[in-house]
Amino acid sequence: MTDQPNDDTAGPAFDARASRRGMLMLGAVSASMVVTIRPALAQTNVSVLACEIPVPDPARAGSFVAADGSLVEPNTPGAFPPAPRPLTGEEVKTILAGGPGPAGMDPQAAQAYTRYIEKLQNGMSGFTCYASLQNPRG
């Protein structure tokens, strides 16, 4: 009698089959992950473009925006009134790329708003939206 196992699971032939089976299973899992993750990333990109940034932050409502993006007292010469509505991520992305602001917005006001947005800090309304635009995924 020999001390070697007498079943079909021993030896190099079994190792090769197990290895191939494992690779096939890994491939199937990877493919399903790609199918699952890509729509989620696409949805994330859409939600980033739909997020909103109020100019100025509601905590500073009533302030005007100076050309350098700082907030100043209402009716300060050379300053712009608050944006009539929050800017969407898509609008901000366009303005940051040097494009025009929303229809009807004074181009100089759009640049002042852009400078304000670039100064947003953690804890300010719109910061998360702006940070998401700076760090796109996918």
The 10s digit of each residue's pLDDT in 75-116 is 899 999 999 899 999 999 998 888 888 888 899 999 999 999
Q: In the structure, what pLDDT confidence band is assigned to residue 133 with cuts at 50, 70 and 90?
A: confident
Query: In the chain, where does DSSP find H-type helix?
Result: 12-50, 89-96, 107-118, 127-134
Signed CA dihedral, 52, 56, 61, 67: sign only: negative
For residue 40, the SS3 value is helix
d(CA 63, CA 82): 7
Cβ distance 116 to 67 under 8 Å? no
pLDDT for position 59: 79
